[in-house]
Amino acid sequence: MRRSAIREQIFLLLFRVEFNDNEQMKEQETLFFTAGDLSFSARDEAQIRSKYEGIIEHLTDIDEEINLHTVGWDTARMSKVDLAIIRLAVYEILYDDSVPTGVAINEAVELAKRYGQDESPSFVNGVLAKFA
């Protein structure tokens, strides 16, 4: 699976966090990897899980950073799609040295085009530009 496809799967799993508590997320993770239309190689699943778990581990810090960099748009006001995309990108910018900042931003904007509303790509780009 290409990196962008793995990133998309991380986003899809991360999106579920807003709708499930910690206990439910364990079940959601299992369902994600077993009940979906895609079958994941062991390597792909490991990459998805690793980055997802890293995001969850740093979620409070990531949200604090997002709130520090946005004016009038804290995480509670953002659409759930945009928030999941921004969280993934901020994790990559702050904690994943293997992903250049420009790539993290560009990939986030592409996800916003695919999954967000009409204004999502420019919103996501604007928020993430403050991290560059």
User: Hey, where are the domains in the chain?
Assistant: 3-129
C-alpha distance from residue 28 to each of 19, 24, 33, 123 (Å): 10, 6, 9, 28
* Separation CA 80–CA 97 (nearest Å): 26
- Per-residue pLDDT 10s for the chain (132 aa) are 899 999 999 999 999 999 998 889 989 998 898 887 778 899 999 999 999 999 999 999 999 999 999 988 889 999 999 999 999 999 999 999 999 999 999 999 999 999 999 999 999 999 999 998
Fold category of 3-129 in CATH: N-utilizing Substance Protein B Homolog; Chain A (1.10.940)
